[in-house]
Amino acid sequence: MKSIEVAGDAYQVGRGLGEAAARAIRETVVNVERYRALKRDWSGSDRLMALLSAARQAYPEFLREIEGIAHGAGVDFDDIFLWNCRGD
């Protein structure tokens, strides 16, 4: 298992994680059928916007980390946010 070390504020940590996992994120996370179905159902929906608004109020640092992951991996913020909202 690959080990990485990142430091900084939430955004910087997220960016480091996104850079380290960029290939896996682009090849796996946003390309699996389960995610594509989730994205079709939720993208731009009022439900997702309400969830994002609530998350920004309750967990602003978590959202900054997601922004960093998205930037580091070179994918849209919405993809990383939605992936983190899915049920396992």
| Total domain count, the chain | 1
Asked if residue 3 is part of any domain, the answer here is no
Asked if residue 4 is part of any domain, the answer here is no
- Which structural domain, as residue segments, surrounds residue 24? 10-85
Inter-residue long-range contacts of 58-65, CB under 8 Å, 24+ positions, other chains counted: 61/10, 62/10, 64/9, 64/10, 64/11, 64/14, 65/10, 65/11, 65/13, 65/14, 65/17
* pLDDT per residue as tens digits for the range 34-43: 778 888 888 8
Asked if residue 5 is part of any domain, the answer here is no
Asked if residue 62 is part of any domain, the answer here is yes
Asked if residue 39 is part of any domain, the answer here is yes
* pLDDT per residue as tens digits for the range 39-74: 888 888 899 899 999 999 999 999 999 999 999 999
Q: Position 12: which residue type?
A: Q
Asked if residue 40 is part of any domain, the answer here is yes
